[in-house]
Amino acid sequence: MNIVKTITPKGFIATVLAIAILAGCKKSDHTDYNSPAYRINESEKLVIPSSVDIATQFPGNTTRVLTLYAQGVQKYKAQAKAGSFPVTYEWVFVAPQAALYDASNKIVGTHSAGPNWELSPQDSLFAQHFAPAKTAAAADANSIDWLLLMPKSGKTPTGVFANVAYIQRIATSGGKAPSVLPTRADETAEVPYTAIYRFTQKK
């Protein structure tokens, strides 16, 4: 015997709504929360600490030139602690090594020792700290500080970076030196990290 189940208009509407909700959930499951595009977009919602906020530190008209997402490592090496006997070691920072992504998830350049950001031989920027340094601790104790930097003296920014006056490192994740100290002089460490870099010029 065949049984035919009748769906009332009210029941039909409820079924359609349920399917729509499930479809919406399924769609959201495909959002890549670790993608450069997502991270760059979310970084625009962040509250920037005053110590690394351009508007607070240097009031005036500015405009953002570029925002990039970095994914790579922070490199460290062992160094003998000054005055320690018997000799003990600590981690000292060496350099970053990361790929740079734009808001379309495309790799557009590299971040390396200097610190340097390079999109091509014609698009390059070296930076240095202000004196005193402008930093802010990341919310996560295992993540490297947020920074406000300036172009490096004697190194003229080129190409897209030509007029950049301020560089911010924000939204950091990871990158801090290992908590376990080295025991030999030849030890090195590469700690994964991500960050958002903002490049801003004066109007």
What average pLDDT does this structure show over 155-177? 98
Least confident of 27-31, 53-57, 67-71: 27-31
3-state helix, strand, coil split of the chain in percent (to 5) is 20, 45, 35
Q: What is the mean pLDDT of the chain?
A: 89
Q: Which one-letter DSSP state was computed for residue 51?
A: G
The pLDDT score that the predictor gives to residue 30 is 66
DSSP character for 8?
P
Q: Which position has the token pair 């994964």?
A: 192
pTM across the whole model: 0.84
Three-class SS state of 80 = strand
Share of the chain above pLDDT 90, in %: 81
The Cα 68–Cα 46 span in angstroms is 15
Residue 7 pLDDT greater than 80, yes or no: no
CB 149 within 8 A of CB 186: no
